[in-house]
Amino acid sequence: MTAGQVLLDAASKAGFYGLMTRSMGPQIRGGEAAALLRISTRPISSLDDHYDLLVAFDWGNINRFAAELPLSADSLVLADPTHGAMPEPIAAYGARAADLALKDIAATIPGGRVNMVGVGAAAALIGLPLDAVLQVVTTQLARKGEAVLAASTAAIKAGAEAAAALPATARLPEHAHDGAPRWNISGNEAAGLGALRGGIKFVAAYPITPATEVLEWLAPALEKTGGVLVQAEDELASINMVIGGSFAGLPSLTATSGPGLALMTESLGLAVASETPLVLVDVMRGGPSTGIPTKSEQSDLNIAVYGLHGDAPHVVVAPTSITDCLFTTQWAVYLAEALQTPALVLSDQAMGQSRIVAPQPQPAPFKAQRLVAEGGLETYQRYALTDSGVSPMAIPGTPGGQYVADGLEHNERGTPSSQASDHQAQMDKRADKLSTFDYGAHWADIEGEGDIAVITWGAVSGPVGEAIERAKAQGMKIRQISLRLLLPASPERMAEALAGVRRILIAEQTHGQQFTKFLRAHYDLPAERVVVNRPGPLPIRPNEILSRLLAWK
């Protein structure tokens, strides 16, 4: 991971854009891990179909993740000959191979490490300027002392020298920094920042892979901005602490993954019934049950949309890219607070644990703005029926606003009621406030034109976008619709977006076509359609989408 991080940071320093995802095994520390990078002269949002260069530091457990490392015949595989022959699943790609004596070269340098030799060789092969690499390492290792830095510098240089004897591989073009400010950020950090920008002041959560980094980033950031983060004893506690924090007046958030979301669903219903705003970031991983905790999937869609008992209208949104984790989480804070309801953000491991070097994101105006009750509260009714369905919320400390928030059905005042008319009125209120709200153009990212549309969401939006670009280059006209607002559904906007479309392709990372079934339940879709779906962890590649689109040419 360190090697990948150095290369990505160096690419950024040299003026390139880039993306790094990771594939990790189940080990607590060490074990197999791959840093998967793509470097480009222009902003990117997807991995490519294959890798041009594979540097193998060892072949340990390669069988477990070789499928995640697609190579072409032109690709180059570098490996230390002392690790033995290239294992079958890698050899099967038919790529070119070359020896790189990582261990021997490292051994010539006191304190020299193979990963830095690999970094030097890779940088030289792909044409990444060596001074950018050395600058990054100097910054990263400053606190580890001069000896470590000297050893790393020497190892990188030795690796770069060794590259001169290696066969050529795909090289980056000469490229000058365009001077535009850019960010180096992971999806989980972006979600944390979106929360902060939206005005989150209270976080309670329980650690879980792959969501923990959202919390680890937020803990010091919140502390420095007057907020509080608490580690709870479990997810049942974290969601209820968040409900308490929000009831007490602070915009509040928790982050989790599938198993935690499952534990939280009862209390999400409480937030719906008691009209307590909160944001829940779910960084999805392979399921069901413990599933594949370190790898991505989009299979929490069903539980996020349908998982609550009773009729429980709530908001579900999903970022459409790594950087969009910022915007969408910030928007979710705004929606939750404006609508006094839980808003779920469906991120995933592929976005959350990937880093991107991208243009600095544009600021968005969304801030927590809760309708609160202040003054003139002699006849205050917490759940008063209003035109918008949203009623002023009294915050503890406000004289005269005392009420009891309740998960029991209640009347306008908040007093428990099992009366049919109260149930009907409050159910209407909770549904109408969501369905009549103006979500604006943010409900989906829509691009392109033509009578073919690709409908997708989340991390799959990236490869879809790239596939459409390639299809356009071949003269096709295709529309992309990446949904950001999943719940409530927007049938009118979708009808507008699909006007003139005759054929659709739906792309999603689930085994059971959860997204396709969701779309069919909520929208009128053209009858002619193709679904590209697969469970994690193998991401859907641009060419898989492209080949289906070209069949319609």
Q: Return residues touching another protein (CB under 8 A).
A: 9, 12-13, 181-185, 189, 193, 196-197, 201-202, 204, 221, 223-230, 232-234, 236-250, 252, 266-267, 269-270, 274, 357, 360, 394, 396-408, 415-416
φ, ψ at 260 (rounded to 5°): -70, -40
Residue 58: is it exposed, middle or buried by C-beta count within 10 angstroms (0-12/13-18/19+)? Answer: middle
> Of 390 and 394, which CB lies nearer to another protein in the complex structure?
394
> Of 181 and 500, which CB lies nearer to another protein in the complex structure?
181
> Of 367 and 529, which CB lies nearer to another protein in the complex structure?
367
Q: How far is the CB of 220 from another protein (least distance, A)?
A: 9
> Taking the alpha carbons of 215, 219, 222, 224 in that order, is the dihedral positive or negative?
negative
DSSP string, 160-219: HHHHTTSPP---PPP-------EEEEEHHHHHHHHHHHHT--EEEE---TTTHHHHHHHH
> Of 365 and 397, which CB lies nearer to another protein in the complex structure?
397
Q: How far is the CB of 37 from another protein (least distance, A)?
A: 15
Residue 207 preceded by cis peptide, ω within 30 = no
Report yes or no: 281 and 329 within 8 Å, Cβ to Cβ: yes
Q: How far is the CB of 201 from another protein (least distance, A)?
A: 8
- Name the nearest CA neighbour of 454 among 482, 493, 480: 480
Give every CB contact of residue 231 below 8 A, 6+ residues apart in sequence. Answer: 204, 205, 206, 207
Give every CB contact of residue 120 below 8 A, 6+ residues apart in sequence. Answer: 130, 133, 155, 156, 157, 158, 159, 160, 161, 162, 163
Q: How far is the CB of 99 from another protein (least distance, A)?
A: 34
Q: How far is the CB of 229 from another protein (least distance, A)?
A: 8
> Of 12 and 353, which CB lies nearer to another protein in the complex structure?
12
DSSP string, 486-545: EES--HHHHHHHTTT--EEEEEES-SS-HHHHHHHHHS---SEEEEEE--SSSPPPHHHH
Q: Which two tokens stand for residue 479?
A: 């529309």
> Of 95 and 250, which CB lies nearer to another protein in the complex structure?
250
Q: Which two tokens stand for residue 266?
A: 């009862």
Distance from C-alpha of 335 to C-alpha of 128, rounded to nearest angstrom: 43
Q: How far is the CB of 97 from another protein (least distance, A)?
A: 34
Distance from C-alpha of 349 to C-alpha of 92, rounded to nearest angstrom: 28
> Of 30 and 397, which CB lies nearer to another protein in the complex structure?
397
Q: How far is the CB of 312 from another protein (least distance, A)?
A: 13
> Of 68 and 266, which CB lies nearer to another protein in the complex structure?
266
Indicate the helix (H) or strand (E) that contains 131.
Answer: helix 130-140
Q: How far is the CB of 351 from another protein (least distance, A)?
A: 16
Q: Taking the CA atoms of the chain, what radius of gyration do you get in angstroms?
A: 26
Show the DSSP H helices in 411-460 as ranges. 420-435
Show the DSSP H helices in 226-378 as ranges. 235-247, 258-274, 301-306, 324-339, 349-352
Q: How far is the CB of 221 from another protein (least distance, A)?
A: 5
> Of 344 and 494, which CB lies nearer to another protein in the complex structure?
344
Q: How far is the CB of 242 from another protein (least distance, A)?
A: 6
Any idea which residue has 């073919």 for tokens?
452
Give every CB contact of residue 526 below 8 A, 6+ residues apart in sequence. Answer: 498, 501, 502, 503, 504
Any idea which residue has 């999805």 for tokens?
284
Q: How far is the CB of 477 from another protein (least distance, A)?
A: 35
Alpha carbon distances (Å) from 535 to 5, 59, 510:
27, 25, 4
Q: Which two tokens stand for residue 180?
A: 């535009």
Q: How far is the CB of 434 from another protein (least distance, A)?
A: 22
> Of 245 and 539, which CB lies nearer to another protein in the complex structure?
245
> Of 232 and 446, which CB lies nearer to another protein in the complex structure?
232
Give every CB contact of residue 393 below 8 A, 6+ residues apart in sequence. Answer: 275, 340, 370, 371, 372, 373, 382
> Of 124 and 205, which CB lies nearer to another protein in the complex structure?
205
> Of 247 and 443, which CB lies nearer to another protein in the complex structure?
247
Q: How far is the CB of 192 from another protein (least distance, A)?
A: 10
Q: How far is the CB of 246 from another protein (least distance, A)?
A: 8
> Of 203 and 494, which CB lies nearer to another protein in the complex structure?
203
> Taking the alpha carbons of 540, 541, 546, 551 in that order, is the dihedral positive or negative?
negative
